[in-house]
Amino acid sequence: METLTANEHKVSEIIIGSEKFTVTDKRVIFNHPNNNAFIGINELRGAEMKEMDVKYHRFKPNYQALSPLVGLFWVAVMYVYICTTEPQFGFGDLTPLFLAFFWCIGLLPATLIVFYIIQSMTSYNKRQILVNIIKTDNSFWLNQYYDLTCVDQLRELTATINNAIYE
């Protein structure tokens, strides 16, 4: 719960989901269950909202962590394959390990390309609204995506903030 100072008057209170924005004549107060923040009106340049397509991925691998694991997997698979199909090599020889390593150099990029194709096939675009509350030094105080169900509250929020700034 925010506490207003003695010479501060509440202009508007906008609730968007679990977030509550309170605009006063002196500052903007942001209340969320996880964090609370405020900024003075004189520190803000303006507020804007844009409707955008946001890309979401159902399958998003971490390629930096996945590359060594996939490489080790291919080396192990190719080592076992070479040792079991070629009679002159046994499991104790190092030659199949070197051959498996060089085969892995060719198979690793192909496997990662397959993962990338799967990632792009499982991605989808979702229409959302980007709300920016911009400070006077052109950095963002709030830069967040919201669902299309809160368009009216977001319009009211940006209009109230802009009116409070330019009064």
- Local structure of 142: helix, strand or coil: strand
Q: What is the pTM of this model?
A: 0.61
> Do both 63 and 116 map to the same domain?
yes
> Do both 39 and 91 map to the same domain?
no
Q: Does 98 map to a domain?
A: yes
> Do both 65 and 33 map to the same domain?
no
Q: Does 126 map to a domain?
A: no
> Do both 116 and 142 map to the same domain?
no
C-alpha closest to that of 158 among 138, 131, 135, 120: 131
Q: Does 37 map to a domain?
A: yes
> Do both 32 and 66 map to the same domain?
no
Q: What's CA 77's distance to the chain center, in Å?
A: 35
The H-assigned helical ranges of the chain are 63-85, 95-121, 151-165
Q: Can you give the residue range of the structural domain that contains 71?
A: 59-121
- Local structure of 144: helix, strand or coil: strand
pLDDT by residue, tens only, the chain of 167 residues: 567 777 888 888 888 888 888 888 888 888 888 888 888 888 888 889 999 888 887 877 787 888 888 888 888 888 888 888 887 877 777 788 888 888 888 888 888 898 888 888 888 888 999 998 888 898 888 888 888 888 899 899 889 888 888 87
Angle between helices 95-121 and 63-85 (to 10 degrees): 140
> Do both 64 and 28 map to the same domain?
no
Please write down the long-range contacts of 137-146, taking CB distance under 8 Å and 24 or more positions apart.
Answer: 138/45, 141/28, 141/39, 141/43, 141/44, 142/30, 145/52, 145/54, 146/16, 146/17
DSSP symbols for 7-50 = T--EEEEEEETTEEEEEESSEEEEE-SS-EEEEEGGGEEEEEEE
> Do both 106 and 144 map to the same domain?
no
C-alpha 111/C-alpha 70 separation (Å) is 8
Q: Does 19 map to a domain?
A: yes
Q: Does 142 map to a domain?
A: yes
Total count of domains within the chain: 2
pLDDT at position 2 is 60
Q: Does 2 map to a domain?
A: no
pLDDT at position 103 is 84
> Do both 63 and 117 map to the same domain?
yes
> Do both 43 and 63 map to the same domain?
no
The DSSP call for residue 87 is: T
Say if residues 122 and 57 touch (Cβ distance below 8 Å): yes
- Local structure of 125: helix, strand or coil: strand
